């Protein structure tokens, strides 16, 4: 019987040059329900499918605020995500305390990247079993970053991670060109449409299982740049968005467009 | 033969003598600056409509001795802010090196994919002021202060003129005009005459502000014994920094001295 | 010699701590050797609790010795909001004494309140915040924050709450409190005007049999006027007080901030 001898720890390469523990951690990300993130020139949004373990239980939170200007979407082990979330929160508070500004999103993501990498190179440590999408705004505009258990981080225009996320990514790739110019609402709708692509047969977006989070550039009352704070929407607050991407609505809109909005009852 | 693993590879005491670990703990007490040694005198700064003027003379004194006469006490940070140092010169040089490191880190953090540093996303004067306040306050908490009073001039997050002061105890404040040391007594009244409030300062033109600051440098040279007639002056605006490091005080008049006993040749 | 100038016989010392002023007693050629980590930056604060509001106030002058360092340096801060502009804060803190310590104290309490909000999903109560502030101060019992703090907010019943502190953390809840340079000038005024001390109904009796004037809670307008009068009085008699008056009015609707002019001489 074949047994893999190179997956007992994360410090040993296989002869093919792979580190199996890190790859297994990446598999844990795929066990988590799907999350989608998109960034435009003015906003970054995260949308997620929440899962309940059984009919009687509540739904697991997927979107977490970190600071005024950043938040994360998680796929994988929620408890590992909380460790990273707390760490990011502390870093943002510390940065604000010493410099009096929002922490640049890239610096923040780089820090969790280095933190996660350490776990892949020390004996007895375990890589984080969670992937993140980090959405935020800073002086250089809105950003979306992907984070993987390997410590890999990368800036994205739009991305999806978690179970069946390939379908969502395909949708995002198809509509890539449109995102940059999208406004707040339009961006959320694109996110939800991508999310729907990844749904299992005869499952639908409901107010119970859908989460939306938005962060964007804004202005204060004096017209100075000030971020529209990262805010998570759940329950009835997401109803209007879900309805706006419902299949029949879409079909009607598509038909309407073809027939010059001239639909008879 | 000692076969215990902890003895492997170690020099034997009976051959080489016991290891002398004394150098590991120093016998001298921890040292800290107890008072400044080589010092710079006042720094003055004044806001105007779309920027800030800041100036300091080029002298470093050793007590009452005019020791170094070509010391630059204004320092540019990230091509967007100017920091002016009063007080101990060695602590100033330490801070200068420290700020250099900070600037390099910040520049690396903001390298964009096309490998050009984006100018919008980096530490502005208000951020730098906050940082220096934290640094100075942390050092005073360790009873190891950096013996300086610092002015930070530049623009804040909203691209408005910014001028702030931090001292060796971490006390920090902002104002339309600021001056350290003797400048607080001699230059502040002159600057407050033209810029009592933020609104007044916002009406000043660049030329007016530069003239007032130069006037202050002249008064300071007349009355502050630890000052020099060669000075540095910088103007910070949105468009960048104009720093001149070897200016000469112009249009001095010592006529007033004629009437003061003790100046010049005594006739009575 | 210094005692000669004392305006406060109880303290039996100078009323102003002018560390920069020449000391008459210093022997010839004496040089300051040890680093003194403290300065007194002057200024005064005041807080009054009403039936359903609290008003916190402070002047905006910052001094050291005889110099006015800044004419606008606020002493009253909103605490525990979730954003940088503290727009959703419910508690205010005033600090007076050594500003660097005061502001460090403010930032620590603010960070703690923010973490509390992040962990518990609700803002800290004033009562809890007050207890925590006392602990923070006492932790530095042997290198104290040289700051007189006053904390204000609304209690669980919605009534105005003012907590006052000494630099090492002793605290109590009060109806009103003045702190800082002009505390000794303002406090007797408050005793009389807020707590109706020494107010009697004329002709209601002889000597000690005089009937006390009935106590009643003050209205918001009355308190605002009291605060302005208290500071106008303090400015007149104390050189470290002046330039601007900052008031924070804490009500169920949030915190409203008002800046008014004071004499600049």
Give the per-residue SS3 of chain A. Answer: CCCCCCCCCCCCCCCCCCCHHHHHHHHHHHHCCCEEEEECCCEEEEEEECCECCCCCCECCCEEEEECCEEEEEEECHHHHHHHHHHHHHHHHHHHHHHCCCCCHHHHHHHHHHHHHHCCCCCCCCCCCEEEEEEEEECCEEEEEEECCCCCEEEECEEEECCCHHHHHHHHHHCHHHHCCCCHHHHHHHHHHHHHHCCCCCCCCCCCCEEEEEEECCECCCCCECCEEEEEECHHHHHHHHHHCCHHHHHHHHHHHHCCCCCCC
Of B215, B223, B213, the C-alpha closest to B84 is B213
pLDDT band at A201 (very low <50, low <70, confident <90, very high): confident
Put simply, whether A224 touches B (Cβ < 8 Å) is yes
Q: What percent of chain A has pLDDT over 90?
A: 82
Residue with tokens 């100078």: C14
Domain assignment of residue C7, yes or no: no
Stretch C25-51: mean pLDDT: 81
- What is the length of chain A? 265
pLDDT band at A209 (very low <50, low <70, confident <90, very high): very high
Using the beta-carbon criterion (under 8 Å), do A107 and B109 form an inter-chain contact?
Answer: yes
Lowest-pLDDT range of A173-187, B7-21, B142-156, C128-142: B7-21
Domain assignment of residue B241, yes or no: yes
Residue with tokens 């000075």: B231
Write down the mean pLDDT value for chain B.
Answer: 90
**SS3 assignment, position B236:** strand
pLDDT band at A180 (very low <50, low <70, confident <90, very high): very high
What is the per-residue pLDDT for B113? 55
Residues of B with Cβ-Cβ distance to A110 under 8 angstroms: 109
Range of the domain at B178: 36-111+143-248
Domain assignment of residue B239, yes or no: yes
Tell me which residues of chain C have a C-beta less than 8 Å from any C-beta of chain A. Answer: 82-85, 107, 111, 114-115, 118
pLDDT band at A144 (very low <50, low <70, confident <90, very high): very high
- How far is A125 from A129, CA to CA, in rounded Å? 12
What is the per-residue pLDDT for C260? 98
| Facing C35 at nearest CB: one of B34, B170, B197 | B34
Residue B260 has pLDDT above 90, yes or no: no
Helix axes A105-118, B89-109, angle to 10 degrees: 80
Number of domains in chain B: 1
Q: How far is A224 from chain B (nearest CA, A)?
A: 6
Structure tokens at A254: 């598509």
| Facing C100 at nearest CB: one of B33, B35, B170 | B170
Residue B235's DSSP bridge partners are: B53, B242
- How far is A80 from A78, CA to CA, in rounded Å? 5
Top pLDDT among B122 and A193 is at: A193
What is the per-residue pLDDT for B268? 59
Using the beta-carbon criterion (under 8 Å), do A101 and B127 form an inter-chain contact?
Answer: yes
What is the per-residue pLDDT for B258? 75
Top pLDDT among B6 and C53 is at: C53
Minimal-distance CA residue of chain C relative to A68: C83
Residue A62: partners with Cβ closer than 8 Å, 6 or more residues away: A33, A35, A48, A49, A50, A73, A74, A75, A211
Domain assignment of residue B235, yes or no: yes
Structure tokens at C137: 């101060």
Domain assignment of residue B261, yes or no: no
Domain assignment of residue C75, yes or no: yes
| Facing B127 at nearest CB: one of A99, A140, A222 | A99
- How far is A131 from A120, CA to CA, in rounded Å? 15
Read off the pLDDT of residues C96-138 as tens digits, 9 standing for 90 and up: 999 999 999 999 999 999 999 999 989 999 999 999 999 999 9
Top pLDDT among C204 and B59 is at: B59
Residue A162 has pLDDT above 60, yes or no: yes
Q: Are C140 and C165 in contact (CB under 8 A)?
A: no
Which range of B239-248, C30-39, C198-207 scores highest in mean pLDDT? It is: B239-248
Q: How far is CA B99 from the centre of its chain?
A: 11
Residues of B with Cβ-Cβ distance to A91 under 8 angstroms: none
Please tell me the number of Cα atoms within 13 Å of C111 on its side-chain side.
Answer: 18
Write down the mean pLDDT value for chain C.
Answer: 90
Which subunits sit against B, judged by 3+ Cβ pairs under 8 A?
A, C
- How far is A265 from A249, CA to CA, in rounded Å? 14
Put simply, whether A68 touches C (Cβ < 8 Å) is yes
What is the per-residue pLDDT for B35? 87
What is the per-residue pLDDT for C73? 98
Helix axes A184-197, A165-174, angle to 10 degrees: 140
ipTM of the complex: 0.85
Domain assignment of residue B107, yes or no: yes
What is the per-residue pLDDT for A3? 79
What is the per-residue pLDDT for C1? 40
Kindly name the residue from B28, B31, B33, B69 that is annotated as catalytic: B33
What is the per-residue pLDDT for B111? 66
Read off the pLDDT of residues A53-87 as tens digits, 9 standing for 90 and up: 888 999 999 999 999 999 999 999 999 999 999 99
Residue C71: partners with Cβ closer than 8 Å, 6 or more residues away: B175, B197, C60, C61, C243, C244, C264
What is the per-residue pLDDT for A37? 98
Q: Is the dihedral of CA B106, B112, B113, B116 positive or negative?
A: negative
Residues of B with Cβ-Cβ distance to C84 under 8 angstroms: none
What is the per-residue pLDDT for B121? 55
Domain assignment of residue B5, yes or no: no
Q: What's the pTM?
A: 0.87
- How far is B53 from B234, CA to CA, in rounded Å? 6
What is the per-residue pLDDT for B241? 97
Residue A247 has pLDDT above 80, yes or no: no
Q: How far is C107 from chain A (nearest CA, A)?
A: 7
Residue C101: partners with Cβ closer than 8 Å, 6 or more residues away: C38, C95, C144, C145, C146, C147
pLDDT band at A249 (very low <50, low <70, confident <90, very high): low
Lowest-pLDDT range of A222-226, B246-250, C99-103, C238-242: A222-226
Domain assignment of residue C67, yes or no: yes
pLDDT band at A147 (very low <50, low <70, confident <90, very high): very high
Q: Look up the CATH number of the domain holding residue C192.
A: 3.60.20.10
Query: CA geometry: angle at B112 spanning B111 and B116, to 5°?
Result: 70
Q: Look up the CATH number of the domain holding residue B168.
A: 3.60.20.10
Number of domains in chain C: 1
What is the per-residue pLDDT for C6? 41
| Facing C83 at nearest CB: one of A93, A97, A229 | A229
Range of the domain at C245: 48-199+212-261
Domain assignment of residue C15, yes or no: no
Using the beta-carbon criterion (under 8 Å), do C100 and B169 form an inter-chain contact?
Answer: yes
Using the beta-carbon criterion (under 8 Å), do C37 and B165 form an inter-chain contact?
Answer: no
Residue with tokens 């390298």: B111
What is the per-residue pLDDT for C15? 43
Top pLDDT among C211 and A191 is at: A191
Stretch A105-122: mean pLDDT: 96
Using the beta-carbon criterion (under 8 Å), do C84 and A96 form an inter-chain contact?
Answer: yes
Using the beta-carbon criterion (under 8 Å), do C85 and A97 form an inter-chain contact?
Answer: no
Top pLDDT among A255 and A117 is at: A117
Cβ neighbours of B189 (radius 10 Å): 13
Q: What percent of chain A has pLDDT over 70?
A: 93
Read off the pLDDT of residues B141-188 as tens digits, 9 standing for 90 and up: 999 999 999 999 999 989 999 999 999 999 999 999 999 999 999 999
Residue C88 has pLDDT above 50, yes or no: yes
| Facing B173 at nearest CB: one of C33, C70, C143 | C70
Read off the pLDDT of residues B195-230 as tens digits, 9 standing for 90 and up: 999 999 999 999 999 999 999 999 999 999 999 999
Domain assignment of residue C6, yes or no: no
Using the beta-carbon criterion (under 8 Å), do A140 and B134 form an inter-chain contact?
Answer: no
């Amino acid at each position: 019987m074949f047994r893999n001898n190179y997956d007992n720890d994360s410090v040993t390469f296989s002869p093919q040059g792979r580190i199996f523990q890190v790859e297994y951690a990446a598999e844990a990300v795929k066990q988590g329900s799907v999350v989608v993130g998109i960034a435009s020139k003015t906003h970054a949004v995260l949308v997620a499918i929440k899962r309940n373990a059984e009919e009687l239980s509540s739904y697991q939170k997927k979107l977490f605020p970190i600071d005024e200007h950043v938040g994360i979407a998680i796929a994988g082990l929620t408890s590992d995500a909380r460790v990273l979330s707390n760490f990011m929160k502390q870093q943002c508070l510390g940065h604000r305390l010493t410099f009096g500004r929002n922490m640049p999103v890239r610096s923040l993501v780089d820090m969790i990247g280095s933190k996660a990498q350490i776990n892949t190179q020390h004996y007895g440590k375990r890589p984080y079993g969670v992937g993140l999408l980090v959405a935020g705004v800073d002086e250089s505009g809105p950003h979306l970053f992907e984070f993987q258990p390997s410590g890999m981080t990368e800036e994205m225009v739009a991305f999806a991670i978690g179970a069946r996320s390939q379908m969502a990514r395909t949708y995002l790739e198809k509509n890539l060109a449109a995102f940059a110019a999208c406004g707040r609402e339009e961006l959320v709708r694109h996110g939800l449409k991508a999310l729907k692509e990844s749904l299992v047969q005869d499952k639908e977006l409901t107010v119970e299982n859908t989460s939306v989070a938005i962060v964007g550039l804004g202005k204060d009352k004096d017209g100075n740049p000030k971020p529209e704070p990262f805010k998570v929407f759940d329950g009835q607050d997401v109803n209007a968005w879900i309805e706006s991407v419902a299949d029949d609505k879409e079909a009607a809109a598509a038909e309407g467009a073809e027939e010059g909005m001239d639909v008879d009852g | 033969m000692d076969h215990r693993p902890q003895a492997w590879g170690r020099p034997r005491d009976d051959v080489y003598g016991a290891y002398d670990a004394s150098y590991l703990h120093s016998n001298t007490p921890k040292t800290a600056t107890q008072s400044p040694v080589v010092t710079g005198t006042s720094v003055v700064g004044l806001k105007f409509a779309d920027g800030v003027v800041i100036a300091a003379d080029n002298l470093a004194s050793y007590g009452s001795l005019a020791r170094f006469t070509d010391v630059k006490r204004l320092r540019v940070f990230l091509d967007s802010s100017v920091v002016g140092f009063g007080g101990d010169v060695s602590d100033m040089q330490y801070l200068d090196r420290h700020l250099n490191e900070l600037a390099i880190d910040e520049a690396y953090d903001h390298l964009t994919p096309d490998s050009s540093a984006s100018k919008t996303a980096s530490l502005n004067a208000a951020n730098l002021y906050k940082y220096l306040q934290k640094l100075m306050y942390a050092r005073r908490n360790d009873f190891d202060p950096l013996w300086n009073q610092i002015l930070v001039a530049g623009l804040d997050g909203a691209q408005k003129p910014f001028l702030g002061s931090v001292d060796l105890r971490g006390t920090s404040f902002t104002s339309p005009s600021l001056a350290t040391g003797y400048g607080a007594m001699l230059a502040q009244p002159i600057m407050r005459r033209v810029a009592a409030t933020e609104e007044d300062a916002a009406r000043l033109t660049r030329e007016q502000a530069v003239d007032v600051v130069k006037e202050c440098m002249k008064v300071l040279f007349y009355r502050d014994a630890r000052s020099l007639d060669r000075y540095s002056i910088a103007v910070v605006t949105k468009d960048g920094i104009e720093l001149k490091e070897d200016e000469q005080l112009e249009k001095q008049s010592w006529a007033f001295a004629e009437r003061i006993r003790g100046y010049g040749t005594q006739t009575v | 010699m210094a005692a000669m100038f004392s305006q406060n016989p109880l303290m039996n010392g100078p009323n102003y701590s002018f560390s920069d002023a020449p000391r008459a007693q210093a022997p010839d050629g004496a040089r300051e050797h040890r680093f003194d980590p403290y300065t007194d930056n002057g200024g005064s604060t005041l807080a009054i609790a009403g039936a359903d509001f609290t008003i916190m106030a402070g002047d905006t002058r910052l001094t050291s010795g005889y110099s006015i360092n800044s004419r606008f340096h606020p002493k009253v801060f909103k605490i525990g909001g979730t954003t940088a502009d503290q727009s959703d804060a419910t508690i205010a803190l005033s600090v007076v004494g050594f500003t660097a310590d005061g502001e460090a104290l403010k930032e620590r309490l603010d960070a703690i309140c923010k973490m509390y909000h992040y962990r518990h999903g609700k803002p800290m109560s004033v009562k809890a915040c007050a207890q925590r502030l006392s602990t923070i101060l006492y932790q530095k019992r042997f290198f104290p924050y040289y700051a007189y703090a006053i904390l204000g907010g609304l209690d669980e019943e919605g009534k105005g709450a003012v907590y006052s502190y000494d630099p090492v953390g002793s605290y109590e809840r009060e109806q009103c409190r003045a702190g800082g340079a002009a505390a000794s000038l303002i406090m007797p005024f408050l005793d009389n005007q807020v707590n109706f001390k020494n107010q009697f109904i004329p002709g209601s009796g002889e000597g000690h049999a005089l009937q006390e004037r009935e106590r009643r809670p003050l209205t918001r307008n009355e308190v605002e006027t009291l605060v302005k009068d208290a500071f106008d009085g303090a400015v007149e008699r104390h050189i470290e007080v002046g330039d601007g008056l900052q008031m924070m009015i804490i009500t169920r609707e949030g915190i409203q901030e008002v800046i008014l002019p004071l004499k600049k001489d």
